[in-house]
Amino acid sequence: MASESILRVDAVEKAFGGIQAVDRCSLTVLPKSITGLIGPNGAGKSTLFNIIAGLYRPDGGEIWFDGTRIDGLPPYEIVHLGLTKTWQIPHELRNLTVLENLVLAAKGNSGEHLLNLFFRPRAVKRDEKQWRARAREVLKLTQLDGLANEHARTLSGGQKKLLELSRALMSDPTLVLLDEPVAGVNPALTGSLMDLIEKLRQSGRTFFLIEHDMNVVMNRCDWVIVMHQGRRIAEGRPEKVKTDPVVIESYLGG
Amino acid sequence: MTLAATGSSGGAKDVAQRKLPWSQLIAFVAIAGIVLAGVLAGALAGASPQGILTNVGFYASIAIIFAVLALGFNLQWGYTGLFNAGIAGFYLIGAYTMAIAITAPSPPIVIGGIPVYPGHLGGYSLPLAIGAILAMFAAGAAAAIIALPALRLRADYLAIATLAFASILQIFANNLQSVTGGAIGITGIPKPIAFLSADAPFLNAITIVGIGSAILLAFLLLLQFMAESPWGRVLRAVREDEEATMALGKNTFNYKLQAFALGGALMGLAGALFAVTLGYVSPSSSFAPAVTFSVWVMVIVGGSGNNRGVIVGAFLIYGLEWLSVQLKDYVPIALAAGLPTLHLLLIVTGFIAVITVVLIVLLSRYRPTTAGGQVLRKIQGHGWARTGVIGAFALYGLGWAFVFLEQYKPGAIGDTIFYTRLMLIGVLLIILIIYRPEGILREHKRVLR
C-alpha cells in the first residue's frame, strides 16, 4: 500500500499554543484518485493541508510525496516537485489582473529571473507568450475568460474560488490539494467544475480535497478520509463511510 | 522593451481610462506654477537673470536627486511592499563613498598645535563615473547586509533595523573623524566640468541638471523595463500576499533581497549626485530622518507603484520646500519694491476674470449651443473643473490678502510660509490620502494580450 501511494502522511503532529491541531495523523492518497477529506470544523483538515504544502512546519512525523520526503521543504520547492494547493479563503493577488494571477502560477518562466531579462530577452519573450496562451486556455476551462483583464479584487467570492483552481492548474501539478473548492460556487458551475476535475484525473492527476458539500464528496470521490480532533478516525469508499457509526456520531449526524 | 510596452498600451478600455487626466494635469501645472512663482519672486526682487536661473537649476538638481531616491523607495515599497525607514542612511553611504573616491587627498590641518581639520579617508581622485558606481555598490551592499537577517523576520523588524541603521550612520559620520572628516565633512568635491569664468555657478548648475536629467531618464527607463517584466510581476505578487506567492512556487526571499538591494543602490546613486551637486558632504541635516520622511511623502503623493508618479511627487514636494525658501528670501524685497505693480496686476487680472465670467454666463444663457456656452455646464458638471475655478478665485483672494498683510507688517508672508511649509505639505498629504489614496498618478492596470 505504502509503495503505491503518491502521498503518505506518517504520524504528523502540529500544535498551536495548547491546542493539538493535528495529532499523530497518518494517511495515504493513491495516485489518480479523487480522495476526499471530511470532518467537523476544527478537525485539523486545513492545518494538515498547510503542513503538506510546506506552509507550516510539522512538530513531528514524516510526509512523503512521490518518493521524496517533503516535510521541512519550503513551499516553493514543493510546488516545483508537482504538488500544488488552493486556499480555503481565496488568496487572490488583489491588485493584479486575473490573467496576471495565472501567469504567475506558471513554473519556469524565464523572465522571472532578473538576469534573463538582459541576457536572454528572446527566451523571456517566448516563455511569456507561451504562458499567457496557456493561461487563457485554463481560464476557458474554468469559465473566467471574460474576466481575464479585470483586477482579481473585483471578482465575486465564487469566482475567486475558480481563480484558485485555475492557478493550481497552471503549474501542471501531479497532486492538487483543494481546500473547499466549490464552497460559494453556484450549483450548475459546481457540477461542471467537478466534471473538469474528473477529466483532469483521467489525464493522470491526483486530487485530494476538503469539502463540506456531501453531494460532491459522496458522488465524486473514490475514497473518503474522515478526520476528528486532529486524527484520522475512519476511511473507506464513500458509501461505506456514510454508514459508519463513528462518522455519523462525530460529523454527519443522525 | 516590448514586454514593458504591453503593460501600458491596452485596448479601448485603457483609452477610456485616460480620457480625463485631470490630476496629472493639475500636478504638472502645480510644478510649473511653483517654478514660475519662484522666478517671479526673484525677478520682482531685482535678482539677476542668471542668479534666478541658477536658483531654478538648484531646484531642478535637488529635485532630480529626490526623484532618484523616490525611484529606489518605490522599487522597495511601491512594488515589493518592503518598508524602509532608513532611506537617509543609504543616501549618506552613497554621498560619502562618492566624496572619498573622487576628491584629491586632503591631509589633517593643524594650526598652532590645534587640529582644525582631521582629514578624511581616501582622496583617490577617481573619475566621477567610477565614484558613482562605487557609491551604488556600497549602498546596495549595505542594503543587502541589513536585509539578510531582517527580511526573514516580520515586516516591522525591517523598519526598525533600517531606522536604527540610518541613525547609527549619521553618528558615525560625525565621529569617525579619520574617515569622514568629522563635523566639517569632506569639501572640495570636484565638479563634472571645471569652469573658470565668472559665470561658474550658473554653468555648473546647468551641467549638473543636464547630467542629472540624463541619469534620471536612463534609470526611469531601466526601472520601467524591469518592473513591468515578469520579474516585476513577482515583486508585485510579494507585495500583495507573500504566503500565496510562495505557494505559487516563488522563492519570495530572493525577490525581496533583490528589490531591497537594488533600491538601496539607487539611493546610493542619489547620494553620489548630491555630493557632486553641493561640492561637499557633512553629517548635517542633509542626512537627517527628515530626508526619509520627505521621500515617503513624495512616493505616497506621486503614486506608489508608478515610477513616473513618484518623480512627479519628488518635483512637487521638493518644489514646495524650495518655493518656501524663495518666498522667504525674495517676497519682502519684492513686495517693498513692487507693491504698486502688484496692485495693478491684481486689478487687471480681476477685471479679466470678471469679464470672462460675465461672458460665460451670458453665452450659456443666450447661446447655449455654442462652444463658449458649453463651458459653464462643463464646469458645473465636473468636480475637478469646479474645484479648479474655486481654487483660482481663492488664490486671487489670497493675493489681495497678501498685499494688505504686507502693508500692515512687512516681511510677515515670507516668514509665515517658510515656517509653516511642513504643515502645508502635511495638509496636502492628508487631503490626498482622503480623496486620492492611490496618489496623483495611480498604479495602472496591466492589460496583457
Q: Please name each of the domains of chain A with its CATH number.
A: 7-89+171-252 (3.40.50.300), 93-154 (no CATH)
Best residue of A95, A118, A122 to probe chain B, by most B CBs closer than 10 Å? A95
CB contact under 8 A, A104 and B2: no
pLDDT at B8: 39
pLDDT at B4 over 70: no
**What is the distance between the alpha carbons of residues B410 and A131, in angstroms, rounded to a whole number?**
68
With an 8 Å Cβ cutoff, is B231 touching chain A? yes
Confidence of residue A254 (pLDDT cuts 50, 70, 90): low
CA distances from residue B198 to B195, B201, B203 in whole angstroms, order as listed: 9, 8, 9
Q: Are B60 and B319 in contact (CB under 8 A)?
A: no
Looking at chain B, which residue has its C-alpha nearest residue A121?
B1
| Minimal Cβ distance to A79: which of B230, B234, B249 | B249
pLDDT, tens only, B153-206: 777 889 999 999 999 999 999 999 888 888 889 988 999 888 877 778 888 899
CB contact under 8 A, A104 and B250: yes
3-state secondary structure of A84: strand
pLDDT, tens only, B387-443: 777 888 888 888 788 777 777 777 777 677 777 788 888 888 888 888 888 888 888
With an 8 Å Cβ cutoff, is B251 touching chain A? yes
CA distances from residue B68 to A85, A145, B63, B264 in whole angstroms, order as listed: 40, 40, 9, 11
The three grid cell numbers given for residue B83, joined into one nine-digit string: 518598508
Q: Which chain A positions have a beta carbon within 8 Å of B229's beta carbon? A: 111, 117, 124
The residue ranges of every structural domain in chain B are 57-330
**Looking up cell 499567457, which residue turns up?**
A132
**What is the distance between the alpha carbons of residues B268 and B133, in angstroms, rounded to a whole number?**
9
pLDDT at B238 over 70: yes
Q: Which chain A positions have a beta carbon within 8 Å of B13's beta carbon? A: 149
**What is the distance between the alpha carbons of residues A23 and A56, in angstroms, rounded to a whole number?**
15
Mean pLDDT on A167-196:
90
Average pLDDT, rounded, for chain B: 86
| Torsion (CA) B278, B282, B283, B285 in degrees, nearest 10 | -40
pLDDT at B416: 74
Other Cβ atoms closer than 10 A to A65: 22
Looking at chain A, which residue has its C-alpha nearest residue B239?
A93
Q: Are A103 and A131 in contact (CB under 8 A)?
A: yes
> What top-level class would CATH report for the domain B57-330?
mainly alpha
**What is the distance between the alpha carbons of residues B149 and B128, in angstroms, rounded to a whole number?**
33
Does the interface ipTM go beyond 0.85? yes
pLDDT, tens only, B240-251: 999 999 999 999
Length of chain B measured in residues: 449
Confidence of residue B32 (pLDDT cuts 50, 70, 90): very high
| Minimal Cβ distance to B249: which of A55, A92, A171 | A171
| Minimal Cβ distance to B236: which of A96, A128, A171 | A96
**What is the distance between the alpha carbons of residues B353 and B349, in angstroms, rounded to a whole number?**
6
Looking at chain B, which residue has its C-alpha nearest residue A49?
B247
pLDDT, tens only, B269-286: 999 999 999 999 999 878
**What is the distance between the alpha carbons of residues B363 and B371, in angstroms, rounded to a whole number?**
9
Q: What are phi and psi of B350, to 5 degrees?
A: -60, -40
Cβ contacts below 8 Å, chain A against chain B, sum to 103
The whole model's pTM is what? 0.86
**What is the distance between the alpha carbons of residues B100 and A77, in angstroms, rounded to a whole number?**
44
pLDDT at B115: 81
B residues 7-26 lying closer than 8 A (beta carbon) to A = 10, 13
